[in-house]
């Protein structure tokens, strides 16, 4: 069977046949190497995508700069009120009346670190007045700070001094209200009287002080 299959082939034909198979094998081997080489080249050329860099927790949670909102230039906006304690009662500036009346006791109504107030009458300054008993300067500054960056402005007044000042000004306003011939002046004096009496009552209740009008 094998002799009949090769009977018609000359030695040259047989060699040609074998050479054709060899050529095809060589071409196949070349294609395999080419494909493998292409894959290696692609892996070397295409760099892997870098992993996203982790976000720093400290940077992500870093608070915004404080004090950027110009308090004292934004009517109606104020920092959270300071917390009163057994030894300190925190009041607002206007609990002691308008600036013309209150400044001898608690200073001017604008920020104490500024030379003057704003020219806009609508500007507000959330100044706090700390009426205290038994607290030294260092403890007051630590618990009720003055901080221009955070717009914290505390004024310190002892209980005794606050009550003495209130008593004097209440007495003066009572005289003004009694002698006022103009209804508008009398209403103004009575309005200030209600404010100062209310402040005096709050101080007395807070510190457990008994006293009449």
CA distance 64 to 150: 12
128: which strand partners? 92, 154
Enumerate residue ranges in the chain where pLDDT < 50: 1-22, 24-26, 28-78
Residue 137 lies in a domain: yes
The answer to whether residues 40 and 92 belong to one domain is no
Q: What is the pLDDT of residue 211?
A: 76
For residues 23 and 109, membership in a common domain is answered with no
- Give domain status of residue 136, yes or no: yes
**Whether residue 97 sits in one domain with residue 16:** no
Return all residues near 59 (Cβ < 8 A) that are at least 6 apart: none
Note the pLDDT of residue 40.
Answer: 42
Domain for residue 27, yes or no? yes
Whether residue 138 lies inside any domain: the answer is yes
pTM (2 decimals)?
A: 0.61
Neighbours of 87 (CB within 10 A): 17
Residue 78 in domain = no
- pLDDT value, residue 213: 63
Q: What is the pLDDT of residue 85?
A: 84
DSSP 112: T
Angstrom CA distances, 172 to 106, 187, 196, stand at 18, 15, 11
- Strand ranges (E), the chain: 88-92, 128-132, 154-158
Which residue is it, tokens 């996203």?
52
Can you state the angle between helices 99-106 and 159-179, rounded to 10 degrees? 160
Number of domains in the chain: 2
Which pLDDT score is estimated for 79? 52
Query: Domain range holding 37?
Result: 11-45
Say whether both 166 and 103 belong to one domain: yes
Q: What is the pLDDT of residue 113?
A: 95
Same domain, 107 and 40: no
Residue 194 and residue 114 in one domain? yes
Does residue 75 sit within a domain?
no
């Amino acid at each position: 069977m094998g002799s009949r299959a090769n009977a018609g082939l000359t030695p040259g034909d047989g060699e040609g046949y074998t050479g054709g198979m060899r050529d095809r094998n060589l071409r196949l081997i070349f294609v395999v190497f080419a494909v493998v080489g292409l894959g290696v080249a692609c892996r070397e050329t295409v760099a892997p995508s870098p992993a996203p860099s982790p976000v720093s927790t400290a940077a992500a949670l870093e608070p915004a700069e404080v004090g950027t909102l110009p308090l004292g230039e934004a009517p109606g906006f104020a920092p959270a009120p300071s917390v009163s304690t057994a030894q300190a009662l925190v009041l607002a500036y206007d609990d002691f009346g308008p600036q013309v009346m209150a400044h001898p006791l608690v200073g001017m109504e604008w920020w104490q670190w500024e030379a003057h107030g704003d020219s806009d009458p609508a500007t507000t300054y959330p100044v706090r007045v700390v009426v205290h008993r038994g607290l030294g300067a260092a403890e007051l500054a630590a618990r009720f700070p003055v901080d221009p960056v955070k717009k914290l402005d505390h004024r310190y007044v002892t209980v005794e001094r606050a009550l003495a000042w209130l008593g004097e000004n209440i007495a003066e306003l009572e005289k003004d209200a009694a002698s006022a011939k103009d209804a508008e002046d009398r209403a103004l004096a009575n309005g200030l009287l209600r404010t100062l009496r209310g402040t005096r009552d709050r101080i007395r209740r807070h510190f457990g002080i008994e006293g009449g009008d």
